[in-house]
Amino acid sequence: MSKISRIKGFADIFAPGSSLFTFMENTARRVFSSYGYSELRVPILEFTELFSRGIGTETDVVQKEMFTFPDRKGRSLTMRPECTAGIMRAYIDANLHARESVSKLFSFGPMFRYERPQKGRMRQFHQLDCECLGAHEPQADAECVAMLMHLMSELGLDQVHLELNTLGCKECRPRYKALLTEFLRGLDVDSFCEDCQRRIVTNPLRVLDCKAPRCKDMTESAPSIGDHVCPECAEHFAVVTGFLSDRGIPFVLNSRLVRGLDYYMRTTFEVVSTTIGAQGSVAGGGRYDGLVAQLGGPDVPGVGYAVGMERVALMLEQNMPDECTARPDFYLAVLEDGALNTALCLAQALREEGFSGETSFAAKSMKSQMRQASKTNARYCLILGKDELAQGTVNVKNMDSGEQRQTPLADAALALA
RNA sequence: GCGGAUGUAGCUCAGUUGGCAGAGCACUUGGUUGUGGCCCAAGGGGUCGGGAGUUCAAGCCUCCUCAUUCGCCCCA
């Protein structure tokens, strides 16, 4: 029989990698809860329209990167490429805005985008996601960013920096867009890369985000959005940056930080790492007033972000957290068939006492048992052979010091403590 | 969607001008009948990613294909 292959871009995550994901989820749960956020689990599959309307028809994500297919009744479904839209839908469905003025929600799970896989980019990837709905105040943006940086620090990530920008609102952004378009058209348009020539027409803001050196040079003196937002947006942004400065949270202003999803406005931010390859954006988010209304709900403002778990995992691998390398307490080596049952009972009793460890399912030579014990990295090796069977004891060996002593079976737990 | 690199033992990889398929690690067994990580010896393991072609002869050269991977793009 031929074996069945894994789907491209879909990873099997074994230990110790899987323990990093558990660590991230546990840490995030703790941090998010401490800010009054509660967990919301939303479906992985949604009607396609949720994403086309929510993320924006013209975005790359919607145009080229979604796993979309019809269900058995011919309706178009899509594996979620991000989870903000799904959370908004749930928020609207549950009529949450009528029950509380501000809703703070977080969610974890797999997302799906049909892209060419590379380091830090899978077709199935995982995000931690946080959304604060109902608050238009800049304090909400500020707390959101602070919470994200708090999470980064709880995860032990220090090789990151925070980038910040404002995109203006639906009043001032179009004015800036027009100004920018005018500036770009005044340049030698043919010298831009192919993508940028297209962007000048479709989405001029993204030209500023182009990585091509030539495009970068040409847009050096482009008008900066920060200088052209309306007074309200400027004031909003000033409160956010002021808070971060007061709190001593370092950030860099990046007037070229443009989020690729249409719904962002005003504050946008990104956490960037330089140690994990080309896909260095570890987290990103911003304000998205108008999205809820866009999805058929009440006109409720929102701000939130997502953290890329695979990318965080790449950073954690460089410096494994202690929690992810916990040693088992024991390995139970069985030398005689007659001791197998006693061993099984002993191991079970120890686990009920709160110890962790494995027992051998078959009797083997001392040599192979010892090798196995080393491999599990257990603190103690418990040996059951014919001598122990006869005496009703177990030989407890400290794997670090090599010390060992015969202990009555009933006292095995004491020996491990 | 575009570009580069790489596919040889379970893992990491050598393989010269085209000439018998290799090493280290891991595994099994023994040295040592009940004490591991070091040492010594022996052993098991291969569709050289797949297919076509050139050749007396292909892991090596040519073409096609598949897969992996790093970038571009995009995003978290």
- pLDDT mean by block of 10 residues, chain A; 417 residues: 82 88 96 98 97 89 93 96 97 96 97 94 96 97 97 95 92 87 83 76 77 76 88 96 96 85 89 91 95 96 97 91 86 89 94 92 85 86 90 90 89 89
Q: What is the ipTM of this complex?
A: 0.85
pTM: 0.91
**In degrees to the nearest 10, what's the CA dihedral of A213, A217, A220, A222?**
-90
* Separation in Å: B2 C1' and A156 CA: 37
Query: How far is residue A275's CA from residue A403's CA, in Å, rounded to a whole number?
Result: 43
Closest residue by C-alpha to C1' distance, nucleotide B33: A365
> In the prediction, which pLDDT does A295 show?
96
Q: Which nucleotide is nearest to A372 (CA to C1')?
A: B36
Q: Which nucleotide is nearest to A285 (CA to C1')?
A: B76
* Separation in Å: B4 C1' and A117 CA: 15
For the stretch A238-250, pLDDT in tens is 999 999 999 999 9
Chain B positions with an atom below 7 A of a protein C-beta are 1-3, 27-30, 34-37, 67-76
Query: How far is residue A146's CA from residue A149's CA, in Å, rounded to a whole number?
Result: 5
CA nearest to A288, candidates A277, A278, A276, A300? A300
Three-class SS state of A149? helix
Q: Dihedrals φ, ψ of A102, to 5°? A: -125, 130
Q: Which nucleotide is nearest to A203 (CA to C1')?
A: B74
Three-class SS state of A47? strand
> In the prediction, which pLDDT does A214 show?
74
Q: Which nucleotide is nearest to A272 (CA to C1')?
A: B76
